[in-house]
Amino acid sequence: MLDHFVTRIEHGVSDAASAAAIGLGAGIALAVGVAFWTVAGWMLLVRLADPLIAAVVMGALYTGAGLIALAIMSMRRRRKKRIKQDMRATHSPGGVQGLLTAFMTGMTAGSQSRS
């Protein structure tokens, strides 16, 4: 029985390690791609305008992308927090109703174990 749990843990660790390796490779590829797109955008903007305008446009693009990413992260955190609060509220029986539910569950389990 213990072997089953150890096997499940080993598979979980293996899956997590492979997902982390794939994520790291994807992150590196994205970083290289963003670097090339940045250089290409810089060259295009310098041809169309002077370097000051190019720097302002590139800075604005990266600042906007960063702010959008922070907003998305903030919304996800709030949603996860709200889901946890909702789960606590629905899964935590309180007061007399919770006591009666627990009593009836125990009585049912006891009567089923006798028969």
59-108 pLDDT per residue, tens? 999 999 999 999 998 888 777 777 777 766 665 556 677 778 888 888 88
Q: What's the pLDDT tens digit per position in 48-58?
A: 999 999 999 99
Helix axis angle, 2-48 to 51-91, nearest 10°: 150
| Whole-structure pTM value | 0.52
- 20: which 2 tokens? 């982390």
Question: Is 42 in contact with 54 (CB distance < 8 Å)?
Answer: yes
Average pLDDT over residues 17-27: 88
